[in-house]
Structure 1
Amino acid sequence: MRTNIAADGGGSRLATALLMLATVLVGLMAGLFFAFDVSVMPGLARGDDRTYVTAMRNINAVIDGNALFGTVFVVALLAAAASAAVELRGGRGGVAVWAGAAAVLYLVVLVITFTVNIPLNNELAAAGDAVRTAGFPIVDRFKGTWVATNIVRTVCSTAALVALVRALVQYGRATRR
């Protein structure tokens, strides 16, 4: 059974809302990762290790305790995947392919976050006073790995955003017929 598709081939309100929601949420996340790449991390790298560690711990604590961030972070994937499913059921395979590609690209972002960035954040948080007395050996490893994987997250989330914009364009064409 098709979703609420008009007889003229137009899209449903659900399909429109999901595609727009996915695009906005993925765009917000791509912007966040990009901001870290071009300002936050280079700015922190200019300071001393103690400032770097303190700032990253504070940033991570704010993000961890922020329900809005968590919602946007996860719902971006859910909206992209749901959009792909609704578009496929609605007979708009071209739109579904782009939305599905966006979902896969954004899933890569989540996998990297949960397997690399969050464990590094937790390791930095757990280091406690040992970081202060050991000459900050964790900081160099943290900087190299965290920054590199954040660049990958930026590229993947930006590619997901581009795929969703392409899906929106195709959706507009398909629903005008």
Structure 2
Amino acid sequence: MTPVKTTNMPTISHIMLIITAITTALISGLFYAWSCSVVPGLARVSDSTYLETMQQINRAILNPVFFMSFIGTALLLPLSTWLHYSPELNARFWLLLLASVVYLAGTFGVTMFGNVPLNDMLDAFNLSSASVQELAAQRARFEVPWNNLNIIRTIAGIVTLILIILACLSPAAATTRPVVYR
């Protein structure tokens, strides 16, 4: 009888999980860095500078590199979860399912239904014709709610990343294929 040896060659599901972890780390890192660097810096500037800067940043961030990690994670997490589904519902599957829910609700959902409407409101605001009082009022309507939503999506992104790391470290369903050496 020929000896059978199993191999741990990377599968499509493993490769997708690694890519998912990378995109999640990128987007979570962006929101984290924003929270601990940009927010405190912008808190120190005048109303007109703050509003103009936020308008420009909100326009500039709409680019393929941002979308790759932000939307990429929203697509890759459920795909990775599905790829790790098996009849024996292992820990990796459950961690990825939870990560998908946390990201889709807490990061993607909060951004789309919270931050984006605030960004659109700010983008429609005409800075050049606004009085000092109108600038202060616009900043008050925007800054605190936007920053609070950013904290939520940052925490959700970090929790998502932790869940993905735990999924990477937990055993998957038996997917190794026997390799016959002759």
Inter-CA distance 155–74: structure 2 relative to 1 (3 Å threshold): same
Give the counterpart of 1:99 among 96, 99, 104. 96
Q: Compared with structure 1, are the counterparts of its residues 79 and 91 closer, same or farther at alpha carbon in structure 2 (3 Å cutoff)? A: farther
Give the alignment of 1:8-157 within 5 angstroms. 8=6, 10=8, 13-64=11-62, 66-89=63-86, 91=88, 93-108=90-105, 109-129=107-127, 132-133=130-131, 134-157=134-157
Helix, strand or coil for the counterpart of 1:89?
coil
Deviations 1:106-141 (A, max 9, x none): 101111111110010110110113773224301012
- Counterpart in the other structure of 1:170: 170
Give the residue type in structure 1 aligned to 2:66. F
Q: Distance in 2 between matches of 1:90 and 1:71?
A: 32
Question: Does 138-147 or 10-19 show the bigger shift?
Answer: 10-19
Report how far residue 171 of structure 1 moved: 3.8
Give RMSD over aligned pairs.
2.4
Structure with the larger helix share: 1
Find the counterpart in structure 2 of residue 3 from structure 1: none
Query: Contact 2:91–2:172 at 8 Å: present in 1 too?
Result: no
State whether residues 58 and 119 of structure 2, in contact with CA within 8 Å, keep that contact through their aligned partners in structure 1: yes
Report the AA paired with residue 164 of structure 1.
I
Identity, % of aligned pairs? 28
- Give 1:126's aligned amino acid: A
Tell me the distance in 2 between the aligned counterparts of 1:88 and 1:12. 17
Q: Which has the higher contact order (CA 8 A, sep 6+)?
A: 2
Q: Letter of the aligned partner of 1:38 in structure 2?
A: C
Under a length normalisation based on structure 2, what TM-score does the superposition of the two structures give? 0.84
| Partner of residue 159, structure 2 | 159
Flag the structure with larger Rg: 2
Query: What is the CA distance between 1:94 and its match in structure 2?
Result: 1.2
* Unpaired stretches in structure 2, ≥5 consecutive residues: 177-182
Q: Distance in 2 between matches of 1:131 and 1:142?
A: 18
CA contact under 8 A between 2:31 and 2:150: conserved in structure 1? yes
Q: 2-side partners of 1:131 and 1:158: how far apart?
A: 40
Structure 2 letter corresponding to 1:80:
L
Amino acid corresponding to residue 163 of structure 1 in structure 2: L
Give the Cα separation in 1 of the matches to 2:82 and 2:44: 46
